[in-house]
Structure 1
């Protein structure tokens, strides 16, 4: 599920230290958007002095929040201390609220980094006043660079509201691939049936169910956060942006329904596999019981005839062995007839 092209972009950017920023600067990348779909790079030092003008430009900084000094920098640029603390906090439950003319949100996306599981969600904190947009993350997140690629190609958003909307849309769209992968895995296991190892299938189903529960746990509050953005965002968040957010909410709702279906399908498949395994075990135990019931009287007879005491009949008879074999055969035939009559066979 790793997007290799986007990962290469992330790796290259990290090796370059963002936009020629010092190695210890928290800036991953920065752009001054021109309001026409394009933008120009900006360094950390330049961003520190940037001021909004009247030409429709706005600033977007993507920041690594776990570098020391980020909270102080945010407070120095007019963000209240509680909000700045929230933006760099590890408390990343999805939420959103309006603070005067600013929008503050914490969103979560699927972790597509190497070795990560779908349930390892990556948080993206967002702050914007319409002229400045700050996005902050701790672990690599590919969604911002997807929007960045559109900006560098001249086909990006024209304002802060549209940038936030594009980030939300890209983040939710990436969730779909993880859900599709889980559905495909369930369909594959249903098609294979009992051809594969039962323990392996049960283990895979357990992973899918755990992923579904984790995704549902994170995506449900994200649904509420997006509704707050659509309903309570400041005036600079235009009506078109609200409609796009509403579309994203509807798409997220469908994904939540798909997750529920995947979870129920995995549960049904798990119960079916366990029922089949139990049925095979019971059938095996039944056959072993029948075999034991057949040989129990025969074993008793042969054991009785094998005791080494005086007075055993047929000891001196040359036909004694065949008489005992014939007697065992008659007992076996009688047992089979009785078991068939009793519907044991």
Structure 2
């Protein structure tokens, strides 16, 4: 069981979340914090991977003292500056990448960051909040089917980050399809709220994923020599997949926009139809209201005022005749 599953409070004493020594054949053995301090490869092909809690006190100083990482780089690796970026520093690769937050109660657009440093013999990854990608790669190593060297380890982490992004995009597309299938029976206000949420998620993911695309290009083009050609090809494939996902986000955003416009057009049409019916009804009763109001004023010489009960029926008949004439006229004019 990987101790990444533990809470941050349980790691106050040690910054190490887990450690593995890659055997160069797809497997790995666990390594503790004390052994990792002075680790040296016992045979060719071994690579040290330690996954650290970057908020632990002293991590920045340890990176500078033990790994000889320059102070600005160590500060970057432990800071809250999470915008994706990557660069080469001598024979070391430094990168900040982002992944989808699948922790309970989190929204897809709440991206989590992971910092990566490697000199080809050692790989250090750092995180603040729990991220599932390192666990997945570690499980592959424990199962003997993981990466074989530092370059493939960085590539595996990148691939898992991008692969999990696709899940959020697929979920949003499924939600759009569901809304399209149920628009007739749904509450328009509730549906518009769901569409607005989807559009916000698309914009947030696009804002976070676009810099990641640039960071992967920087890794592919500027990584040190230990990052081999097959690793660069894998990164190039990841870049292409990420580009497709960005295009899918644009399509999802446009689909949500079209659906939102359609819902608003339907709501506007319903409102106009209701207003039209009310206008026709008001037009029909306007002359009748005028006649009854005119005959109801309290002045002398009102027609039929002395006609008794016959006056009521005469006025009622007159109003009925006017109503029939109005209806026939409106139908002839095709107003309804």
Q: TM-score range by the shorter chain?
A: over 0.9
Residue number among 286, 294, 313 corresponding to 1:296 in the alignment? 286
Cα offsets for 1:116-163 (capped at 9, x unmatched): 111100001000001000001111100000000011111111101111
1:35 aligns with 24
2:154 aligns with 164
| Distance (Å, rounded) in 2 between the aligned partners of 1:63 and 1:11 | 9
Please tell me whether residue 321 in structure 1 is matched to residue 312 in structure 2: yes
Please tell me whether residue 226 in structure 1 is matched to residue 216 in structure 2: yes
Residue number among 190, 202, 206 corresponding to 1:212 in the alignment? 202
How many residue pairs align between the two structures?
Answer: 334
Q: CA RMSD in A?
A: 1.7
Superposition deviation, residue 173 in structure 1: 0.5
Give runs of aligned pairs for residues 268-287 of structure 1, distance below 5 A. 268-287=258-277
Superposition deviation, residue 310 in structure 1: 3.0
Q: Would you say the 8 A contact 1:31–1:61 is kept in 2?
A: yes
Q: Would you say the 8 A contact 2:117–2:124 is kept in 1?
A: yes
Superposition deviation, residue 338 in structure 1: 2.4
In structure 2, the CA distance between the partners of 1:14 and 1:29, relative to structure 1 (3 Å rule), is: farther
Please tell me whether residue 107 in structure 1 is matched to residue 101 in structure 2: no
1:179 aligns with 169
1:154 aligns with 144
In structure 2, the CA distance between the partners of 1:92 and 1:23, relative to structure 1 (3 Å rule), is: closer
| Distance (Å, rounded) in 1 between the aligned partners of 2:43 and 2:71 | 28
| Distance (Å, rounded) in 1 between the aligned partners of 2:265 and 2:209 | 32
Superposition deviation, residue 308 in structure 1: 3.2
2:333 aligns with 342
Give runs of aligned pairs for residues 51-130 of structure 1, distance below 5 A. 51-77=40-66, 78-130=68-120
In structure 2, the CA distance between the partners of 1:206 and 1:10, relative to structure 1 (3 Å rule), is: farther
Structure 1 gap segments, 5+ residues each: 1-7
**TM-score normalised per structure 1:** 0.93
**TM-score normalised per structure 2:** 0.95
Q: Would you say the 8 A contact 2:51–2:126 is kept in 1?
A: yes
Cα offsets for 1:16-41 (capped at 9, x unmatched): 95xxxx74211110111111111111
| Distance (Å, rounded) in 2 between the aligned partners of 1:85 and 1:309 | 94
| Distance (Å, rounded) in 1 between the aligned partners of 2:6 and 2:314 | 93
Q: Would you say the 8 A contact 1:14–1:28 is kept in 2?
A: no
| Structure 1 consecutive aligned stretches of length 4 or more whose deviation exceeds 6 Å | none
